[in-house]
Amino acid sequence: MINLKNILNKGELDREDIITLLSSESSEDLGLLKSKAYEILKEYCGIKVWLRGLIEFSNICVNDCYYCGIRKSNKSLNRYLLSKEEIINTALWCAEKGFGSIVLQSGERNDKNFVDFVSSVVSEIKKMTISDKLPEGLGITLCIGEQDYNSYKKLFEAGAHRYLLRIETSNEKLFREIHPPEQSFQRRVECLKMLKDIGFQTGTGVMIGLPNQTIEDLADDILFFKSIDIDMIGMGPYIIHKDTPMANSESLMKNENYKEHNYLLSLKMIATARIFLKDVNIASTTALQAIKPFGREAGLSFGANVIMPLITPEIYRKEYQLYEGKPCIEDLAEDCYDCSVQRIKSIDREVGFDEWGDSMHFISKNSKAD
Ligand code: 5AD
């Protein structure tokens, strides 16, 4: 029998080891996985949890991903775009509260107006949030999809310094199954390379528990993160959204149990990614809490170190549902802030107030290059 302890004590893990870790089932093995992930987190990143105020500033999207609730063909939601003032005021509120960083997330648009709009919002926020607490202003992460090189560059020059672009799955065949033909895996990899090239701290991630996705695929996802030398990871369980093509094609997954399964698999992915990649930032994503009330705390306990409290103005929250059961849609930003801080403290972790909380991986890579 394979002994999990032996694998966890090895220096370098190989693909087989990763598969074994992801296949852990007994509570004893899960306990070992969790404590090893925590040990590595403490050693390489410290135990602080970084807050990123998440502002979902628009649900308008040109893409038609088969899994996503805000895909362009979904006519059952009201499309919105926050005004510049609304976004800036929300960001100012975050800075005031001690969030060192925000994430500006939206559906994808590639037109010039959009890119110009986001650039000007970013540079304004940077200017307006410089203070004694934040000498370089709020840290800004963007999550606005695939763009061309010049747009990425413009956004970087405007002052955004991190970018999240999920690969969704590193299995190209599976990628094709969950996206329309206009979207390509290769293009997404190219975008990730451009982002790194420009100097962004770059994050990617996958959905966990997709139909036809195997444990081997997930192990390959972790190897993919390493091969492109990623700085940050945001990944979470796949959850059906009723107004998407994938909701209809999956009779098997209508079973409520799939959620429990995807939830546990996500915690194992977080722990294994932490053990294998060591010094990257890993987010404990909202989708975990959509399945279990304390899902985000669990993600932190399994090695994540970033949490993204929802700061989107309340009236827009219900229009930004990528999957079903999104938590906190009735709450106010203040509630999400208080609740996140409480939750972090409840598991004996410290909140990193007024700091950017950059990825240690990115920091050490760059200090080596100097
Ligand atoms: N379940 C889980 N995650 C989803 N996302 C989109 N739709 C779903 C879903 N049904 C994730 C994708 C995307 C991110 C913004 O949200 O990974 O990149």
Q: For 55-70, how does the pLDDT look when each residue is reduced to its tens digit (9 = 90+)?
A: 999 999 999 999 999 9
Band of pLDDT at residue 73, cut at 50, 70 and 90: very high
Collect all residues with Cβ–Cβ distance below 8 Å to 291 and sequence separation of at least 6. Answer: 237, 239, 259, 260, 262, 263, 325
Per-residue pLDDT at 369 = 62
What CA–CA distance (Å, rounded) separates 237 from 291? 9
- pLDDT number for residue 276: 98
The verdict on the CB of residue 68 being under 6 Å from ligand 1 is: yes
CB of 207 shorter than 6 A to ligand 1: yes
Nearest to 362 by CA among 134, 141, 124: 141
- Whose tokens are 């546990």? That residue is 264
Q: Which two tokens stand for residue 270?
A: 């977080």
Centre of ligand 1 from the C-alpha of residue 222, in Å: 18
The ligand 1 atom nearest the CA atom of 239: 1
C-alpha–C-alpha distance, residues 107 and 145, integer Å: 7
pLDDT tens digits for 92-127?
999 999 999 999 999 999 999 999 999 999 999 999
**What is the number of other CB atoms lying within 10 angstroms of the CB of residue 223?**
15
Rounded CA-CA distance 209/219 in Å is 13
Atom of ligand 1 nearest to the CA of 207: 17
Q: Is the CB of 287 under 6 A from ligand 1?
A: yes
Q: Which amino acid is at 211?
A: P
Q: Which atom of ligand 1 is nearest to the CA of 323?
A: 10
Residue 45 has pLDDT above 80, yes or no: yes
Ligand 1 center to 69 CA (angstroms): 8
Q: How many CB atoms lie within 10 A of CB 266?
A: 28
Determine the average pLDDT of the residues in 62-82: 97
pTM, to two decimals: 0.96
pLDDT at 333: 86
What value does the mean pLDDT take over residues 128-151? 97
Distance separating alpha carbons of residues 265 and 367, to the nearest angstrom:
35
Looking from the CA of residue 246, the nearest atom of ligand 1 is 10
118 lines ligand 1 (CB under 6 A): no
Share above pLDDT 90 across residues of the chain, in percent, rounded to a whole number: 88
pLDDT value at 20 more than 80: yes
- Determine if ligand 1 sits within 6 Å of the CB of residue 175: no
CA atoms within 13 A on the CB side of 82: 27
Q: Which helix (H) or strand (E) holds 58?
A: strand 48-58
Residues present in the chain in total: 370
* Pocket flag, ligand 1, residue 362 (CB < 6 Å): no
Average pLDDT over residues 187-193: 98
Cβ–ligand 1 contact at 13 (below 6 Å): no
Least confidently predicted of 197-201, 300-304, 331-335, 365-369: 365-369
Decide: helix, strand or coil at residue 228.
coil
Structural tokens at position 145: 């999809």
Answer yes or no: is the C-beta of 288 below 6 A from any ligand 1 atom: no
List beta partners, residue 207: 236
DSSP string, 143-176: E-----HHHHHHHHHHT--EEE---B-S-HHHHH
- Helix H or strand E segment including 20: helix 15-22
Give the domains, in start order, of the chain with CATH numbers.
Answer: 27-369 (3.20.20.70)
Name the average pLDDT for the chain.
95
Contact between 104 and 122 under an 8 Å Cβ cutoff? The reply is yes
Between residues 331 and 131, the one the model is more confident about? 131
The pLDDT of residue 11 is 84
In this model, does residue 370 exceed pLDDT 90? no
Ligand 1 center to 105 CA (angstroms): 12
Smallest CA separation from ligand 1 atom 16, residue: 322
pLDDT confidence band for 3 (50 / 70 / 90): confident
Tell whether the model's pLDDT for residue 367 goes beyond 80.
Answer: yes
Instruction: Give per-residue pLDDT as tens, 247-287.
Output: 976 555 567 689 999 999 999 999 999 999 999 999 999 99
Angle (nearest 5°) at CA 170 between 115 and 309: 55
Q: Does ligand 1 lie within 6 Å of residue 166's CB atom?
A: yes
Q: Specify the ligand 1 atom closest to the Cα of 206.
A: 17
pLDDT of residue 250: 58
Calculate the alpha carbon distances from 152 to 82, 103, 320, 362 in Å. Answer: 21, 16, 24, 18
